[in-house]
């Protein structure tokens, strides 16, 4: 065995928003009865996920998808979220060792304060449109023509802690849109602090407004050391795929690449599997959330899950002897639930590798941080205090 094949690596893929049933406190968030996977399966009864189920997806407590009668090759669990909230940053930060006791602020009811909007307009030199809670595709449909006529960017929010700026790139170039987002990020601090500022470029085609690649999330440094800091600080690689770098504001990451869609995310992950020596390859697959959860499209969500399932062998076939593959989620986004926002749910956890025991049900883990603790232990680095490693329960 070569030196490289003997080095330990973790390939960690976050299936953004693939929830596994409402948490006990879901009613506090208006999410009683939410069940992303279960409701997708109800709308797509023929949905087949043989590769994910062979890793344990259909065996997880409470997961309502087609049963699987074949060999279960991985260990599996469902995880509860300890942090307050149900957004992307909160979920990813908890996975990596940070518990958020206070949720990020939201501005759903009345939009962002007039004082902030005034300062933003002064800084960018033009007025803005919108400033209310809306679906991104819906608000650009409503305001797209006025945006083209005036050149004013469209701003909006949701039940998540976000400030989003949408612009037709033929009206406001991508680079200018990014400048506006950077200004908004500078202003959204203190009492106006939100988790993310998001650039949402789009184009007009045949009378319709279509989002395009080029989305960019502007966050801020995590308040504490994360798993990523621990791994890279120990001299190992942390290779980020998709919006991972945005979520952690680049901190603790040794290299990163953006992606166009889920398929590109798997392709970039496979590329890193050829070049990354020792450490972590950390991937976010955003399409489930942005393309299907928020747009309330259970059939499209089901197809996207089947497409991911078909791509799983491309990852597994590249795994070396001491690699571990982890798949999980960061929150739910039930496309059948009311509204267009994230849902407070358990999330699935799948672990696979040559050294991982088969068909081990870890039950329900009390915090997402158990994953980060296990990753650090496997890679031989001291991690954050949050979380309890489950390695002794799954390694051969």
Asked whether the predicted pLDDT for residue 193 surpasses 50, the reply is yes
On whether the CB atoms of residues 96 and 86 are closer than 8 A, the answer is: no
Residue that the structure tokens 């400033």 belong to: 131
Q: What percent of the chain has pLDDT over 90?
A: 86
Structural domains of the chain ordered from first start: 9-98+222-394 (3.40.720.10), 114-218 (3.30.70.1250)
What is the token pair recorded at 179? Answer: 């400048």
Average pLDDT over residues 188-201: 92
Q: At what angle do helices 298-316 and 36-43 cross, to 10 degrees?
A: 110
Asked whether the predicted pLDDT for residue 6 surpasses 80, the reply is no
pLDDT for position 5 = 46
pLDDT tens, residue by residue, 203-235? 999 889 999 988 888 988 999 999 999 999 999
**Strand 347-352 versus strand 9-15 pairing type:** unpaired
160 — pLDDT class (breaks 50, 70, 90)? confident
What is the token pair recorded at 313? Answer: 């062998």
Average pLDDT over residues 378-387: 96
Asked whether the predicted pLDDT for residue 323 surpasses 70, the reply is yes
pLDDT tens, residue by residue, 52-108? 999 999 999 999 999 999 999 999 999 999 999 899 999 999 999 999 988 788 898
Please state, rounded to an integer, the average pLDDT across all residues of the chain: 94
Asked whether the predicted pLDDT for residue 141 surpasses 70, the reply is yes
Average pLDDT over residues 240-245: 96
3 — pLDDT class (breaks 50, 70, 90)? very low
* Range list of H helices, 317-362: none
pLDDT tens, residue by residue, 104-134? 888 988 899 999 999 999 999 999 999 999 8
Around Cβ 105, how many Cβ atoms within 10 Å?
Answer: 12
Quick one: which of 54, 380, 331, 112 has its CA closest to 233? 380
Supply the pTM of this predicted model: 0.88
In angstroms, the CA 287 to CA 297 distance is 12
pLDDT tens, residue by residue, 252-268? 999 999 999 999 999 99
pLDDT tens, residue by residue, 263-295? 999 999 999 999 998 999 999 999 999 899 988
What is the token pair recorded at 190? Answer: 């203190």
352 — pLDDT class (breaks 50, 70, 90)? very high
In angstroms, the CA 80 to CA 366 distance is 5
Rounded alpha-carbon distances, angstroms, from residue 204 to 134, 167, 303: 19, 10, 26
In angstroms, the CA 371 to CA 280 distance is 13
Q: In sequence order, which residues have a C-beta less than 8 Å from that of residue 88 and are 6 or more positions away? A: 16, 160, 195, 196, 243, 247, 289, 330, 331, 342
């Amino acid at each position: 065995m070569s030196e490289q094949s003997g080095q330990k690596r973790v390939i960690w893929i976050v299936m953004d928003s693939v929830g596994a049933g409402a948490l006990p406190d879901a009613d506090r968030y208006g999410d009683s009865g939410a069940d992303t996977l279960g409701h997708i399966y109800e709308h797509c009864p023929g949905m087949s996920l043989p590769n994910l189920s062979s890793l344990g997806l259909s065996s997880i407590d409470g997961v309502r998808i087609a049963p699987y009668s074949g060999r279960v090759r991985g260990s599996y669990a469902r995880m509860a979220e300890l942090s307050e909230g149900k957004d992307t940053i909160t979920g990813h930060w908890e996975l990596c060792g940070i518990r958020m006791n206070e949720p990020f602020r939201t501005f759903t009811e009345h939009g962002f304060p007039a004082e902030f909007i005034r300062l933003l307009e002064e800084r960018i030199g033009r007025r803005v449109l919108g400033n209310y809670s809306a679906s991104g595709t819906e608000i650009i449909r409503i305001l797209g023509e006025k945006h083209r006529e005036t050149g004013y960017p469209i701003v909006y929010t949701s039940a998540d802690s976000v400030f989003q700026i949408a612009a037709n790139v033929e009206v406001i170039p991508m680079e200018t849109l990014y400048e506006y987002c950077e200004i908004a990020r500078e202003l959204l601090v203190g009492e106006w602090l939100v988790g993310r500022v998001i650039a949402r470029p789009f184009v007009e085609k045949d009378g319709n407004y279509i989002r395009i690649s080029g989305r960019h999330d502007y966050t801020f440094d995590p308040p504490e050391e994360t798993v990523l800091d621990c791994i890279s600080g120990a001299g190992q690689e942390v290779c980020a795929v998709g919006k991972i770098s945005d979520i952690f504001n680049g901190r603790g990451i040794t290299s990163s690449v953006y992606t166009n869609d889920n398929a590109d995310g798997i392709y970039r992950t496979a590329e890193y599997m050829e070049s990354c020596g020792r450490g972590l390859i950390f991937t976010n697959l955003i399409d489930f959330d942005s393309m299907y959860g928020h747009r309330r499209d259970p059939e499209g969500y089901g197809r996207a899950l089947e497409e991911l399932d078909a791509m799983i062998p491309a990852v597994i076939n590249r795994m070396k002897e001491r690699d571990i593959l982890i798949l999980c989620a960061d929150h739910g986004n039930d496309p059948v639930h009311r509204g267009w926002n994230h849902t407070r749910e358990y999330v699935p956890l799948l672990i696979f590798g040559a050294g991982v025991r088969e068909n081990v049900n870890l039950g329900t883990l009390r915090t997402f941080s158990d994953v980060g603790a296990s990753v650090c232990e496997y890679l031989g680095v001291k991690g954050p205090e949050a979380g309890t490693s489950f390695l002794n329960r799954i390694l051969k």
